[in-house]
Structure 1
Amino acid sequence: MVWVPLLLVACVVAGIGCARLCRATLVAARPAPPSLTEEDAELTVLEAAYLAGGPFRVIDLTLVSMHRQRRLLLAHTGWATVVDPTGGYRDDLESAVLGAIGPGGQSPIPAVRPVVAAADSVRSLAQRLVDRGLAVSEAGRREIAAGVRSVRAAFLLSLALGAAAALLVPAAERNLVIAAFTLPLLASGLCLLIGRIEVYPYTRWASPAGQRLLSGLSRADPLTALATRGPAVLEPELRDALRGHAPARLP
């Protein structure tokens, strides 16, 4: 019965992976706090952008808003140019964008995004949403991703150990071995399948409460549509700008 220790290893690893993923999902799916007021349940366009696409969606929304107000020029080549560096910028996000572009007044958009994403204004926006139970915390997303990796590794390990065990036993016992390894394979495989349906949304930015608020937003306003659906709703020139290939510096 040399295959029995291999089966035990497969079962233990599958059990640990499934338990880790379930625990992480339960934490991420915590309900919104009961103290959530009607005012707190309303989303600004920036909050909707974060819940739908994370920090980079917030930055894209800010860039497009500044472009349409002629504070920035977003070129189809992927460069952002400050139009009026002395103009009054309305909030910390716009100031962070201006600071990320730098004193030269021009920068490729891919270089702007990570700088603004690390700004205090974006972190505080995210934390407010987490505190209201509308966003999944960064730690929660990491834990869920780690749980998914654990279950995937358990499935592959069970498959490899089952194949090895089947080769180690006489042909007459292989059906028994295959049937025994079906348990960890089914457990980890079903957990992965359920994860794609139920767990995957928690690897995004919005919690279930946040997703419900997002689904109730009207997308008639162009900025709201950008916040919830991403750059696909923009005109081709702005889509090219946000892709940020930046092949050459603008003259």
Structure 2
Amino acid sequence: MLWVLFVLVAWAAAGISCARLCIAAFEAARPPSPQGGAGKRELSLYEAAFLSGGPRRVAELTLVSMHRRRMLLLAHTGWATVVDPEGEDDLERSVIGAIGPAGQARIAPVRAAAAAADAVRSVADRLVSAGLAVPDGARSGVAAAVRAVQGASVLTVAMAAAAALLLPQGQDTTAPVLGWFALPLLLTLGALAIARIEVHPYTRWASPDGQRLLGALSTEDSLTALAVGGVRALDDPKLRAAFTSGRTAHRSH
């Protein structure tokens, strides 16, 4: 009867993890109260970039914007070179600071440093306060809850396998016993399926209000297309290669 203990463990893991996921999803669906008219206001390019792709996208937009204004040179080999060291705003100044006094650096580490700068955090805080972005805690909470449910699914399968090994040979009891494990497994798999549909939007950067504003943007302008679609939306293959080369070099280290 040791298998009963395994069933209880599987049920406990499934119940606790699914309850945690429900709570995390509920919290994620309750962003801060938006400021008056926040859902009707227009997004800046930086804000659109953050809502579409987070801090990394903001850094990419800043780099490309500076390149097109001849403040930076982004080479297809993955290097960024400063042409004009006077940034027009905090985001541009954070990029120049990330490149350093040498005036030249790999794009990948520059992008990473710029994405982690206080200037990007200010954009994020402003969007969260307006109810247009999902807070970090809510997004990470949902992701952790989903991983917990996935772990409970694996644990249920492991407990079922262990119980099957402990059953006496020659007795037709395997199917009824495994049936008890099928219920918590169906619970966890069902929760993951629902989370994929209902909870997934809250793991993105934009809240539902933010997603509606993004959907209203026209991507005819190349910088807007970059903000919404990322570097793959760039129409210049050499500029796309600059970011690809930088990412490859960064990974090789």
TM over 0.5: yes
Give how far 1:34 is off: 5.4
Counterpart in the other structure of 1:93: 91
Give how far 1:6 is off: 0.8
Secondary structure of the 1:107 match is strand
Structure 2: which amino acid aligns with 1:238? L
Q: Could you tell me which runs of 5 or more consecutive residues in structure 2 were left unpaired when the two chains were aligned.
A: none
Distance 2:125 2:72 in 1: 28
Q: Could you tell me which runs of 5 or more consecutive residues in structure 1 were left unpaired when the two chains were aligned.
A: none
Counterpart in the other structure of 2:156: 158
Counterpart in the other structure of 1:115: 113
Give how far 1:4 is off: 1.2
Contact 1:82/1:106 (<8 A) preserved: yes
Secondary structure of the 2:37 match is coil
Structure 1: which amino acid aligns with 2:150? R
Give how far 1:145 is off: 1.5
Distance 2:23 2:195 in 1: 12
Contact 1:10/1:161 (<8 A) preserved: yes
Matches within 5 A, 1:19-98: 19-30=19-30, 33=33, 35-37=35-37, 41-85=41-85, 87=86, 89-98=87-96
Counterpart in the other structure of 2:104: 106
Distance 2:184 2:94 in 1: 50
Give how far 1:31 is off: 5.1
1:190-242 CA distances to partner (integer Å, 9 max, x unpaired)? 11122222222322211222112111111111111111111111121111111
Paired residues in the alignment total 245
Matches within 5 A, 1:223-234: 223-234=223-234
Structure 1: which amino acid aligns with 2:60? D
| TM-score (normalised: structure 1) | 0.92
1:104-152 CA distances to partner (integer Å, 9 max, x unpaired)? 1101011112221221111111011111111111222221111011000
Give how far 1:245 is off: 4.9
1:33-77 CA distances to partner (integer Å, 9 max, x unpaired)? 254315763211110100100001000001000000001000000
Q: For 1:149, which of 147, 150, 160 is the aligned residue?
A: 147
Counterpart in the other structure of 1:239: 240
Contact 1:30/1:133 (<8 A) preserved: no
Distance 1:189 1:32 in 2: 31
* Alpha-carbon RMSD: 1.7
Indicate the percent of aligned positions where both proteins have the same amino acid. Answer: 57
Counterpart in the other structure of 2:176: 176
Counterpart in the other structure of 2:136: 138
Distance 1:107 1:197 in 2: 41
Contact 1:10/1:157 (<8 A) preserved: yes
Contact 1:32/1:209 (<8 A) preserved: no
Distance 2:57 2:125 in 1: 16
Distance 1:39 1:20 in 2: 30
Secondary structure of the 2:173 match is helix
